[in-house]
Structure 1
Amino acid sequence: MDSVVSMLGNILIGLLTSLLGIGLGALWQRWHRTRELHRRADFFGARPGEPCVIVSGDKHGRPGTIHKRDLRAVVELAVLLSQLGCRVTVESADLRGGNGDRTEFCVGGPIGGSNPRTGGHLAAHLPGVTIHPFSDHRDSVAITVGDEHYYFDRGHQEYAVVAKFTPPESSRPVVLVCGQSSVANQAAVHFLRREYAAVARSVASLDRYCLLVKVSNIDVYAFHQAVLERDVSAYAFTPA
């Protein structure tokens, strides 16, 4: 009888230990998911449950239409924000006024009037960044930050500026995605959605940053071969 009682006691202890382990494992996984959610939200400047607005530019030379790659970038952002539990709206590039209490994601460059809101953000908050106009010269659509020039090699190697800042009149930040083309816009969004944790560890502040994302071998890999080229925060927010 004693051996039976001892065996039953061991089984009961084993069951309790297993249940405790399962419970602790579930709690750890939940804590880990919550921590990752908040890390991602901190990087992108969004807060679960709060409103966000995505501002998309027009296709170059075709007002009122959006390039398919910009549309894919917008969809990828919308999916990201939905995963964070944010309420998302999409506005056109003729949006006026501040972003107020909405975290704003502004996608597309100002060249050719594609996204004039981007041009306004650059002029007001990123005086150290210059986007050169389209021309027949080598610096056509080039990005200049400080003394460095990042040239546009269409279909092979391109760049995108990704910046986060909070306008003085707003309570929530603006995240600007300004690529030299729609491919660069999509590449930057896709790259940061995937690699935000590593990028977050490399920047001095999550409250304000300006990054250059480079996408290479576009003719072979489209938007997939993107890397963080450089953190240019030290130059972007200071007049050249």
Structure 2
Amino acid sequence: MRHSRNQVMSSRRNRVLSAWAVHAFTLTGVIWATLALLALFDDDPKLMWLYLGIALVVDGVDGTLARKAEVRTYAPHFDGVILDSIIDYLTWTLIPALFLFRTGLLGEGALAVILLLLITVSSMFCYANTKMKTGDYYFLGFPAAWNVVALAIWLLDAGTAVNAIIVIVLALLTWAPIAFVHPLRVARFRTLNIVATAVWILASAALVIAYPTGEPWIAVVWVLSGAWVILTGIIRTVAATRALR
């Protein structure tokens, strides 16, 4: 009887330790965010993107680990959802927005400030929206993925006018009934979504390392893999629209 009780206690202790280990893993996002911010202040964009890339990978897998470790059961007094949202706002929105502002990619003067505020404020309607995700785990509206947008703007360097249009349109899409895929959680095309996302991350890393030069074929792979992720959301949006008719 005592042996059985000890086994139960040991098992629970291991589950508690596992839950806190996942929280600690998520918490590393704060470290990567801080290092990315320091790199931005040091005008080292490649190093900044490295840290934001690591944060992206952490954010991509910590939710799955948290559900597997049952953190809400075994570490109930520490809210991983709030922690994740804070880190996401830093790494997905604020730091990329400051990067666009600091590098002059948003233009100068009042225009740059307005676009910066448009990014930071519109994103709050994503993070504070309790209905941001559909029942099948798509994001409904642009999910404040400004790290992806900022990287594309930096690599493409299309000019202030184009950059401003991109920012305004995407900010407005925050409130649009358009689906954006969550590569790991959406069941439909999950394998393709994960592969496309992984390829996009690797291609992004290669382009950042080689910037301002780079192999054209890597750029093509980068565009195509990113286009697939966008396309899956469009497919879901069209299907939902037809279902309402």
What's the TM-score, normalizing by structure 1?
A: 0.26
Give the number of the structure whose alpha-carbon radius of gyration is greater: 1
The answer to which structure, 1 or 2, has the higher relative contact order (CA under 8 A, 6+ apart) is 1
What's the TM-score, normalizing by structure 2?
A: 0.25
- Greater fraction of residues in helix: 2
